[in-house]
Structure 1
Amino acid sequence: MSVELNKTLFNSRLKLIKDAWNNASDSEEYGSIADVGAFLVMAGDPAGEDDPIRKGTAFQQIKGGDNPIAIEIIPQAGAKEPSNDAIPRFVQAYISHSRVGSLLKETHTGKLVKEWEALLAAANSRPELVEISPAMSSFMAVKDDEELKIVRTAANLTSTLLANYIATKLETILDKEAKISHEDFSAQIEARLGSGEGDDAKGPDMKVWNKNPKLKDVDWGSTELCYSPIIQSKSTASGYDLKSTAESSPDMIAHSGVFLISTGIRYKGYCANMGRTIIVAPTKEQEEIYTLLLGLQADLITNIKDGAQIRAIYQHALSYIKDKKPTLEKHFVKNVGFGMGLEFRDSAYLLSSKNNRQLKAHMILNLSLGFADLVDDAGKKVGAENATILTEGVKSVKDTLFFEANDEEELKSSKPKKPPVKPLTNGHSASPVKNKTVAGKVLRTKTRSAAQEEVLMTTAAKIREHQIELHAALQAD
């Protein structure tokens, strides 16, 4: 298969690197490459299926794709051809520099890597190696129009899966009080992208994906999960764990309490991620905390913009909590998200109090808010080891809080009275939300009119506007 270089895209990305390199001595962001004479970015054999993508591999996208495109050709001998001087010549070019920038924390394997290391070990001299990971993150942080288009598709895929399968399936589980384990539910979610091999192979579940017209031109061969969907409930034996490395346990899903759901889809290499916390029969305090975080989310998004300093964003969030509910300040998470793209989580753009980097337009961020070490009504500490995140990208409590009916007898009446549930609207007035009742629980169901009201609300409108501009629509309507 022939590989064609996208010259326009390649030149624009190469110019970004060249300009940063030439002016690196005047930039804290690119200071790590100021005095290097060359870059050595290795790829080696592909990473394992469950391993995160390496930054060196991700950097290959700078060419407009992950296929090798040579600028200067140093032909290597084929498998059945006699050895040539390709790698020795490359070693000589490498050791001719006094300082070379590389990704020192990455390890690579493969035949070519072994041959390279053997020749390098026999060399009379070696250049000083400089860690350039921070600069690499900066190279890849700002996305061009083509990348943003891909991320929007990844986001649409992720939100469609959550809204049109995961949420409805969980509702059915609660309704029927079905016995199903967390890991089995996760496997069912995973199968929406296809399952099986050979004659038993099944393609994507188009009954789910066709519900979003924006997905009609998706290349399903370039679509995969970032990680196995994570489903957790109060019956998870190991407790709640919000890391993307967490696994859905074999324990049966509980039918009440707090449910944590995380899923992410990678499209053409680029990641999108979503999380939901669903609470059945929340306490008043849980409602208040949830509403507080939703208000913070809307407030933060208006402050996440071109030129904003990351540490200032975190401090703003902390001040918001201190002003609204000072007793929760000490429980607030140590970071409020991270940068993402080809890498699921780029720690160089961790949204914490210690990060001095500035944000730029067209960066992709995963915003995540919550509290740690909270104590529930039973006196049990929740999240002692891991942050208890109550909301990740949620627009309204109406989507995530399920309320138990106060009187089951009223529900059986021929003219049932609506339970006195006060709609929560983040401080804004709105019409009452229509409810439906399943298994004695009143589930908040968003009608067309209710959805329109949310869009018209100031808070939701701000979220939508800034997500499109700054987060590449990481959460589609």
Structure 2
Amino acid sequence: MSGIRKQKMIETRNGNTLPAKGKAPKTGNDSAINLVCFSTRLKALYSNWQDLKAEFWGSSDVLVVATPPSSDDLRYLKSSALNVWLLGYEFPETIMIFMNKQIHFLCNQNKASLLEAVRGSAMEAVGVEVVLHVKARFDDGTAQMDALLRAICAQSKSNPIVGYIAREASEGILLEAWAEKLKNSNLQLADITSGFSDLFAVKDHEEVTNVKKAAFLAATVMKNFVVHRLEKVIDEEEKVAHSVLANDTKKAILGLTKLKKGNIDICYPPIFQSGGNFDLWPSASSDDEFLYYKSASAIICAIGCRYNSYCSNVARTFLIDFTPTQGKAYEVLLRAHEAVISALNPGNKVSAAYQAALSVVERDAPELVPNLTKSAGTGIGLEFCESGSSLNAKNDRVLKPGMVFNVTLGFQNLEAQTNNPKSHNFSLLLADIVIVTEKGPDVATALSSKSVKDVAYSLIEVEEEEEEEPPKAKSESNGTENLYSKATLRSDNHVILKEELRRQQLQTLRRNVLARESGKAERAALVSEEKLVIGGNKFKPIKLIDLWIMPTFGGCERKLSGILEAHSNGFLYSTSRPGECVVIMYGNIKHAFFQAAEKEMIAVVHFHLHNHIMVGTKKTKDVQFYAEVTEVVQTLWDGKGEIVEEQWERDRRNKINLDFQNFVNRMNDLWGQTQFKGLNLEFDQPLMELGFCGVPYQTSAFIVPTSSCLVELIKNPCLVVILSEIEIVNLERVGLGQAQANFDMAIMFKDKRNVLRIGSIPSTSLDGIKEWLDTIDIKYYESAAPR
């Protein structure tokens, strides 16, 4: 939910939101007011009031704060925020009056008993006396109100200015009676809403910690619940209403209370929107329409969590097979959103943040300027929307460390090039929690990714008449929609048994029997004369980051990760260390492989080359780039409120596989273009169900066929056997009736120069290997074990 939307809600509901931490607790040691915090914040209140009296506090001599009764409605009140900020609890049906020498409270006996503890702290902190006016249970409080008015007149100058929160309507018998008395008192009244906005704008360490925890909770729910739920709905083609998804998400948030004994709540009902109907205003709600996730659709999700009454917010837009218009709009929005965040540095004016977003849109897509939201968010804390801290073009307040913003930016009412009304109209929305620090902006919701590759999906259409064909990602030749897709969804939902998968993989091999190498050798001979062209013809590099290389560059220092970039005629791999780079020309690639992190703990792209290249001081024809599935932690809450760590290996594995798959898909699309046809390049993938164990060198390895090779890509040295170069295979030491025996595979090549022997293959793999050799039409013989 955006700040601009929440701001309007406050205006239409007189500033109402969720009740803060709850009613004032019963007296007792477990519910005592934190006196150190009370003293510090009381000093801050009086200091701000005295220093900025004319600027923000309406020149008020007295501050009056009246908190209404508790309510189940979604509402935020500055009076309730002051209760929680100063005292640690909400004190409903309570009147507080701050004066130069006294603080008066009008409340019931239970609250008065709790407030007794602050007497000494108030005197020590700012030299004021605490006076308690106790109202009996069935008393209307009239007598106590008269005493309050007399105290105001007695301690202040003649005709004092009384500040109050003008935007909060009086609710309940007590506050209505007080409002009437104040109105008839002939005292001069002034609105002090801006004063409290300025007071709450800069958070102390404890407040920032609460915001960070709330933000982490929101980002965790978005990443680990919402995204997975949406993927399951789309993949299984479920019909689920927006309202159902919202309710499920709310349950997921409230379920976090099991992880931490404390105050966890929602900031607003979760919002899910799709199907052409989008509302970026505060009245937005999750309707009962089904989630729409066909091609060219957009889905907006927004959730907010509260921790110890402090708010957070995160919003993401997910795109399904997006059109060029949608893709461009999202990329512009993403850059504009990042520009807002980058501008949130101490000393800058608040208006500079929105201007940064506007400048990006004016530069990259001026036609979208009318559709840009008029605000880039607002301050956030105890209130979901802190008035006075809106990130708009007119706010000239100066940013300070400790300020926290709900950075929310969107495009409204855009149109895509489709005839379907459910995808023709679309909107985009992004929101993150950002904390202003001395070192720069800190994104507290960074756990939830908003990059294109993590929010864009490509659907797979499964054709019933081609059941043999393994699912492939849909590729469109006239756009860039799927170049950045996060995942391919809607795979065949039927469970494929191991034997059925093996049968399908053998059928795949039959359709790709021995792709010959015609023309490749001649092309490779010219590669040595080529130079890598970087940025040629305005080519935008395709990247894969955080990779290691094998073989290594050498040296005793710890290896560095690097970036693999695909340019117009070759790859460039480099690390941050000078001189550590490798160039691989496309024309020098004989075979390219991609193996996902499934049976192994790494994902690999491997290139088997025509001609040797140098990697550091090593001469090689095999180069691979890989990422390891390392331990990743997700922060949860323990019973003491501390942060603990729990491993989330599956998330890391999925992310690596998706990143690699997206890279491979984009490269296959690139190599499919006319200028690369002669190279006959495409990433080949090992058919794991056809694999077998054996010893090709000195240690056991899992050896796997592909459509054109027999490979082992994990252990060093790797194994790449090109099937078209095999003359004959001899299966040696095959022992009849010996179930536990092993056998060897001797591979003889057409060049008659070498024989490769793979030893110690379990006899249980014999039938599978013979079936595979039959499928690819390679002759083989069997030699019985010697007696």
Q: Given the two structures, how large is their TM-score scaled by the length of structure 2?
A: 0.48
Q: Point out which structure has higher relative CO (alpha carbons under 8 A, 6+ apart).
A: 1
> Which runs of 5 or more structure 2 residues have no equivalent in the other structure?
1-26, 92-114, 120-129, 433-448, 476-481, 487-539, 546-593, 598-650, 661-787
Q: Quick one: distance in 2 between partners of 1:10 and 1:57?
A: 15
**In the alignment, residue 222 of structure 2 is paired with which amino acid?**
L
Residue-pair matches, total: 415
Picking from 33, 36, 45, the partner of 1:5 is 33
Aligned pairs for 1:15-164 (under 5 A) are 15-24=43-52, 31-33=55-57, 35-46=59-70, 48-67=71-90, 69=115, 71=119, 72-79=130-137, 85-96=143-154, 97=156, 98-117=160-179, 119-120=181-182, 125-164=185-224
Deviations 1:385-409 (A, max 9, x none): x993343345311111112348869
Aligned pairs for 1:43-442 (under 5 A) are 43-46=67-70, 48-67=71-90, 69=115, 71=119, 72-79=130-137, 85-96=143-154, 97=156, 98-117=160-179, 119-120=181-182, 125-193=185-253, 204=255, 216=259, 218-220=260-262, 222-234=263-275, 239-256=277-294, 257-378=297-418, 388-393=427-432, 394-405=449-460, 421-423=482-484, 430-431=543-544
In 2 relative to 1, CA 262–310 (structure 1 residues): closer, same or farther, beyond 3 Å? same
Alpha carbons 1:35, 1:99 under 8 Å: kept:
yes
Q: Quick one: distance in 1 between partners of 2:83 and 2:264?
A: 19
Deviations 1:374-395 (A, max 9, x none): 22214799999x9933433453
- CA shift, 1:90, in A, is 0.9
Deviations 1:68-119 (A, max 9, x none): 5365132314327898953321121234552011111211223432443455
Q: Quick one: distance in 1 between partners of 2:89 and 2:179?
A: 23
Q: Quick one: distance in 1 between partners of 2:595 and 2:176?
A: 65
CA RMSD, Structure 1 to Structure 2 (Å) = 3.6
Q: Quick one: distance in 1 between partners of 2:305 and 2:224?
A: 15
Tell me which residue corresponds to 1:475. none
Deviations 1:169-226 (A, max 9, x none): 11111111112211122222222245xxxxxxxxx278xx8xxxxxx5x225x11111
Deviations 1:25-57 (A, max 9, x none): 6xxxx61326211100110212x3223111111
- CA shift, 1:4, in A, is 2.5
Which structure is higher in strand share? 2
Which structure is higher in helix share? 1
**In the alignment, residue 57 of structure 1 is paired with which amino acid?**
S
Q: Quick one: distance in 1 between partners of 2:230 and 2:412?
A: 26
**In the alignment, residue 93 of structure 1 is paired with which amino acid?**
A
1:361 aligned counterpart, secondary structure: coil
In 2 relative to 1, CA 287–80 (structure 1 residues): closer, same or farther, beyond 3 Å? closer
In 2 relative to 1, CA 401–410 (structure 1 residues): closer, same or farther, beyond 3 Å? farther
Alpha carbons 1:158, 1:273 under 8 Å: kept:
yes
Deviations 1:281-319 (A, max 9, x none): 100221122122222222332211112111122112211
Deviations 1:246-294 (A, max 9, x none): 2211122223211111111122111111111111110022112212222
What is the aligned-residue identity percentage? 26
Q: Quick one: distance in 2 between partners of 1:325 and 1:296?
A: 11
Tell me which residue corresponds to 1:440. none
Alpha carbons 1:262, 1:276 under 8 Å: kept:
yes
For the pair shown, the structure with the greater C-alpha radius of gyration is 2
Tell me which residue corresponds to 2:633. none
1:430 aligned counterpart, secondary structure: strand
Alpha carbons 1:224, 1:267 under 8 Å: kept:
yes
**In the alignment, residue 306 of structure 2 is paired with which amino acid?**
R
